[in-house]
Amino acid sequence: MPEFRKDPIVGHWVIISKERSQRGSDWIIKPHYEKINGFCPFCEGNEDKTPPEIYALRSNDSKKDGPGWKIRIVPNKYPALLHTGKVSPEHNGIFHKLNGIGAHEVFVETPDHAAKFTDFPPRHIFDILKAFQYRILHLKQDRRLKYVIIFKNEGFAAGASLEHSHSQLIGTPIVPKAIKEKLEGFRKYFSRHKTCVFCDLIKRERLEKTRVVFESKHFTALAPFASRFPFESWILPINHIANYENMEDDYYFDLAINLKDVLKKIKMGLNDPAYNLILHSCPFTHSKNIDFHWHIEIIPKISSTAGFEWGSGIHINPVPPEAAAEWLREN
């Protein structure tokens, strides 16, 4: 059983999940994708090599866990957290832990092994974004979960262990410390200014324009003022929306266009780098619309995180966000 453990000094959580590694030799870093004899469990026809599907967008005449799908959601075969059981905290002096209950799901974004996110038609990206919404709405009803995050690791350098295009969702019975700090940032700013910090930020960025990468009808893509990574990009709804899952279809379609464009700019401008994409929606524990402004973070993997960054938490970024935005705008 995986477990959550709390750092006794600073209070951040980690997940200790030995289910994800078995023996000494597993600890040696793998220099490439695990594709044993060219076999991929996410390809059409290999549906029996994943756990049974949670949901699939498939043709009417196709069968569950068979071919004929466009998008497929399955539990992660090597889950960081398990979906069954009761959450039970354990305190033992300075050491606090929690059994590893939660959700860990995979969105297989296409049946085609070679197709990449930037190749998908906007309508297909819309379907993926709607699948995210569907799962968040569903998991919100699970009283054990307080928070859900959706992310995409594209490329080996970004931590992907399979090449086939996919995203993941992890739901946790705690609100992570970093997310609590975000919520607290929103709360503090609101109590001082009676408005949302991201709404103010977006207003200002749209006036200044220097850090804007791309705009669609409902969304703006920015290189954030305090970018931790070169070419870090955020996509935010221009109007205040706390929850990703509470939007009209029109918004998801516009987001598909924006996301595809920004990822294409990153691909063209930076020589097709690996990247992480993170979708931040409001935690389930917060229901006031003003608590959060949902957003996407995209982190191209073109720099490495070294001792100074891990030790101090301060990232050294050699590319000013103004230069990054200009470079991406022109690509």
Q: Of 254 and 297, which CB lies nearer to a second copy in the complex structure?
A: 297
What's the closest the beta carbon of residue 242 comes to a second copy, in angstroms? 14
Q: Of 134 and 151, which CB lies nearer to a second copy in the complex structure?
A: 151
The set of residues, in sequence order, having a beta carbon less than 8 Å from that of 101 and lying 6+ positions away, is 81, 82, 83, 84, 85, 86, 87, 144, 173
Q: Of 263 and 277, which CB lies nearer to a second copy in the complex structure?
A: 277
Among residues 124, 166, 218, 286, the one annotated as catalytic is 166
| Subset of 140-199 contacting a second copy (CB under 8 A) | 147, 149, 151-153, 157-160, 168, 170, 172, 176-179, 181-182, 185-186, 189, 197-198
Can you list the pairs that 176-185 forms with residues at least 24 positions away whose Cβ atoms lie under 8 Å? 176/12, 176/13, 176/147, 177/10, 177/11, 177/12, 177/13, 178/12, 179/147, 179/280, 179/283, 182/280, 182/292, 183/283, 183/286, 183/291, 183/292
What's the closest the beta carbon of residue 238 comes to a second copy, in angstroms? 17
What's the closest the beta carbon of residue 100 comes to a second copy, in angstroms? 10
The Cα–Cα gap between 227 and 113 comes to: 33
What's the closest the beta carbon of residue 29 comes to a second copy, in angstroms? 5
Contact between 6 and a second copy per CB under 8 A? yes
Q: Of 20 and 329, which CB lies nearer to a second copy in the complex structure?
A: 20
Residue 191 tokens read as: 């109590």
The Cα–Cα gap between 97 and 137 comes to: 28
With CB under 8 A, what is the number of residues at the site for a second copy? 90
Backbone angles phi, psi at 2, to 5 degrees: -65, 165
| Subset of 35-94 contacting a second copy (CB under 8 A) | 80, 93-94
Contact between 16 and a second copy per CB under 8 A? yes
What's the closest the beta carbon of residue 253 comes to a second copy, in angstroms? 24
| Subset of 107-136 contacting a second copy (CB under 8 A) | none
- Residues 315 and 290 sit within 8 Å (Cβ to Cβ): no
By rule CB under 8 A, what string of x and - marks binding of each residue 279-308 to a second copy? -x----------------x-x-xxxxxxxx
The Cα–Cα gap between 296 and 234 comes to: 5
String of DSSP letters for 96-144: EEEE-BSEEEEEE--S-TT--GGGS-HHHHHHHHHHHHHHHHHHTT-TT
Contact between 238 and a second copy per CB under 8 A? no
Residue 96 a catalytic site member: no
Out of 224, 251, 255, 256, name the contact with a second copy by CB under 8 A: 224
Could you give the 3-state DSSP secondary structure of residue 320?
A: coil
| Subset of 91-110 contacting a second copy (CB under 8 A) | 93-95
Out of 1, 21, 88, 209, name the contact with a second copy by CB under 8 A: 21
Q: Of 27 and 86, which CB lies nearer to a second copy in the complex structure?
A: 27
Pick the closest to residue 12 from 178, 239, 259 (CA basis).
Answer: 178
Out of 34, 90, 200, 249, name the contact with a second copy by CB under 8 A: 200
Out of 41, 113, 327, 329, name the contact with a second copy by CB under 8 A: 327
The Cα–Cα gap between 32 and 26 comes to: 14
Positions annotated as catalytic residues are 166
